[in-house]
Amino acid sequence: MVESGERKGSGAGPARPQSGSDRGAPQRVRDLLGPAAARLGIGDPLAAGLLWSRWGRIVGVEIASHAEPSSLRAGVLRVRADSPVWATEIGYLADEIRRRVNEAVRADLVHEVKVWHGPARPGSQIQTGGRAGPCDQSVQSAPAERPADPRAAYRRAESAWRRRLGRGR
């Protein structure tokens, strides 16, 4: 005899209530992702999936060719850059990246962006070789949006540095 909420058989897997019309009905993948993601500290799995799939559109082609998201846990997005120079640049752009990610996924998914550098994972979209550092110092939605001007890049980097230290502009 099987009591309510228990299954006959091997005992593998969690018991599902066997009441009414959903007796034996398969569960939707979306319903299974939520609890699994919560256990991993991901939050909204659909928003996290959008972040990974839209990364290039969110940060722009230039940055996406040198950096990629590597993990998202408890609102902290870790981004892997292909060089220390790119890691530094992306660190300066962390607040802008956080804002763009949350805007793109229409959720408060990312609270902090942490950047590290290391080799790209196999199958990554990060290009290996080529330039050692950023040629344009901005997160762009279109490559022609801002010309590569060293003085302007310095002003943006200084402004980002002051914001990080809480000194304003």
pLDDT tens digit string along 25-55? Answer: 887 776 766 676 666 656 667 788 889 899 9
pLDDT at position 155 is 76
pLDDT at position 50 is 87
pLDDT at position 65 is 93
* Cβ-contact 104, 58 below 8 angstroms: yes
> Whole-prediction pTM value?
0.55
CA–CA dist 91, 41 (Å, integer):
23
Torsions phi, psi for 61 (to 5 deg): -65, -45
Domains in the chain, CATH or no CATH each = 39-120+142-165 (3.30.300.180)
Any idea of the CA torsion for 116, 119, 121, 124, to the nearest 10 degrees? 90
**pLDDT of 80-98, one tens digit each?**
999 999 999 999 999 999 9
The helix (run of H) or strand (run of E) holding residue 78 is strand 76-81
pLDDT at position 135 is 42
Low-confidence ranges of the chain (pLDDT < 70): 1-23, 30, 32-34, 36-44, 120-148, 167-169
pLDDT at position 139 is 44
What are the angstrom distances between the C-alpha of 144 and each of 44, 57, 86, 106, 123? 34, 15, 20, 26, 28
DSSP lists the bridge partners of residue 112 as: 76
